[in-house]
Amino acid sequence: MRRSKVFIPTSKDAPSDAQLVSHIFLSRAGFVSQNAAGLYNYMPLAKRVIRKIENIIHEEMNNIGAQEVELSFVTPASLWEESGRMEKFGKELLRFRDRKDNLFLLGPTHEEMMVDLVRNRITSYKQLPMNLYQIKTKFRDEARPRFGLMRGREFTMKDGYSFHASEEDLNREFDAVEASYKKILSRLGLDFRVVEADSGAIGGSASKEIMVIADSGEDTIAICSKCEYGANIEAATRSVKTELPEAPEAAFNKFQTPNVKSIEELKAFFKVDAYYTIKCVAKKVIYDESSEIVLFFLRGSDTLQDVKAMNATEALEIEDASEEELTKIGLFPGFVGPLDQDKAKHVIDESLRGATNMICGANEQDYHFVGADLSVISDVAYFCDIAQVNEGDSCTHCEGELSFSKGIEVGHIFKLGTTYSKALKAEFLDENGKAQSFIMGTYGMGVSRLVASVVEQHHDESGCIWTKATAPYMVNVMVSNIKDEEQMKMGEDLYLKLQVAGVEVMIDDRKDRFGFKMKDAELIGFPYTVIIGKELVNGNVQIFTRATKEKDDVSADNVFKSIMELI
């Protein structure tokens, strides 16, 4: 391609709302342009990167026997009514009616559509397993579309769905998809981690996320220093503490603690470690058609993990409860303890099961209990893991310490079981001729988010640094002065030679100043630029390596060979 002819509108200015480097550089380097909040146009460079990512995905999907399909983007709402997800997805679904007044939506994910595709078409266990996938536009009317391609409203996703006759077979496929996702990410040249994810009510190892490690990531992941364990903070677990701070041993007693409300105040008042205090986090828990105040109790040294709290209560949403709401049901904010179960529903963190020597609210204005023993409520209370792990906590798989890191979720794989097949009555006949619901897995990967992720992980102050697998062009032939006939001839020859060799190459044949053209090349991020300049008279050119910004002199005769070796 000739730089003088291609459509790459680079610019000095970034969009005013751009915060992430990927958003800034992808806009400035002419990869994408924004139409409206969360809506982007892909320009030629972006299309090339996306195609590369897609090709790698297709190859790896093919390797595990997954088959490509393409389902319509416009989705009949009736399918979502069948699954009951219309409500759950709420405002993220963009709904509209056609001229016959039928309700449709733009697919944000395709579980229903895919189940509908196979139901009554796959009818026997002999046709299983089946893994079908597509790479397709999705639409989610995200509440806060931001960060460019990272969180768009319209975006490109690879979504796959597998159908099985048994759990064992689903497990096998899940592992195969995980392995192929790892290959895809490695091939793209990304540093990533596969972590355990929140799986809502399903739980267990039923869901994993593929996280690209980047400081700008929206997710926090807990990583073990010794073993492979990693988990989204929403799902991370820890082992029971063995090295404990000194316990405040005291007989069970009620103490007057005027105005001592926070954990900090309690610690200071009793001179104890927060580990031996009990914190109450009061929330308003919102269900499908009702809401209630729920009291979450944790050790004072821990914090409530909201997603765990939602799972523990099967809530649609949780909000902070106000002091008035607590007072109204007879509670004393600042003095709420877990020993009186009558006034509101309690959820108590697992680490408090059977805990002794605790200090907690006495459910009386200005009073706390000391020496509280939670085993007295072990039969009536609901204990559950609702605490967020802390850095320094111990891994549940080994003795390693957990630490936090930021990640970008680029993939999510999930064992669905029969949730959708049951709801949509999609069945096959098993070996005994009995009707069974399909056992399913679902596997997503954010293609457009991957483009942004590469830049988040690979950039410097001058612009993008594409990995070899993702670069829109591998080599940029920079003719420093196009009026110089020798330089131009050398450039054209090399350009042609590289093209014939199958290298994706650009020639910068613009009239502009050399400095300007170099800045432009750095912004776009070609892995290699061959600089053909003044030194050509002495038979020399330079190879500029974008990642290191090093310029190496090579003889003009050898440059083709050198480039071929580098790529």
Query: Which residues are near ligand ATP by CB under 6 A?
Result: 109, 140, 142, 151-152, 155, 157, 409-412, 444, 446, 448-449
Interatomic CA distance for residues 378 and 380, integer angstroms = 6
Q: State the residue number with the nearest CB to ligand ATP.
A: 446
Residue placing its CB nearer to ligand ATP in the complex, 9 or 200: 200
Give the shortest CB-533-to-ligand ATP separation in angstroms: 42
Tell me the C-alpha distance between 235 and 183, whole Å: 24
DSSP labels, 394-408: BPSSSSPBEEEEEEE
Min dist. Cβ of residue 208 to ligand ATP (A):
11
Burial (CB count within 10 angstroms: exposed 0-12, middle 13-18, buried 19+), residue 235: buried
- Cβ nearer to ligand ATP, comparing 197 with 478: 197
Closer residue to ligand ATP, CB minimum distance, 52 or 140: 140
| CB of 305 or CB of 529, closer to ligand ATP | 305
Q: How far is the CB of 172 from ligand ATP (least distance, A)?
A: 22
Q: What tokens does 138 get?
A: 């999705």
Nearest residue to 269 (alpha-carbon basis) of 278, 282, 258, 281: 258
With a CB cutoff of 8 Å and minimum separation 6, the contacts of 239 are 393, 394, 395, 396
User: Please, what is the minimum distance in Å from the beta carbon of residue 367 to ligand ATP?
Assistant: 43
- Nearer to ligand ATP (CB atom), residue 195 or residue 377: 195
Q: Which is nearer to ligand ATP, 109 or 305 (CB)?
A: 109
Smallest separation (angstroms) from ligand ATP to the CB of 456: 13
- How far apart are alpha carbons 47 and 198 in whole angstroms? 33
Query: How far apart (Å, rounded) are the C-alpha atoms in residues 256 and 269?
Result: 11
Closest to ligand ATP by CB, 48 vs 140, is 140
CA distance between the termini of the chain: 18
Query: Which position has the token pair 């940029």?
Result: 476
Q: Which is nearer to ligand ATP, 326 or 450 (CB)?
A: 450
Hey, what amino acid is at 133? Y
* CB of 94 vs ligand ATP, minimal distance in Å: 13
CA distance 350 to 544: 58
Token pair listed for 120: 């009554």
Smallest distance, ligand ATP to C-beta of residue 107, A: 12
Q: Minimum distance between the CB of residue 505 and ligand ATP, rounded to whole angstroms?
A: 31
Distance separating alpha carbons of residues 347 and 280, to the nearest angstrom: 10
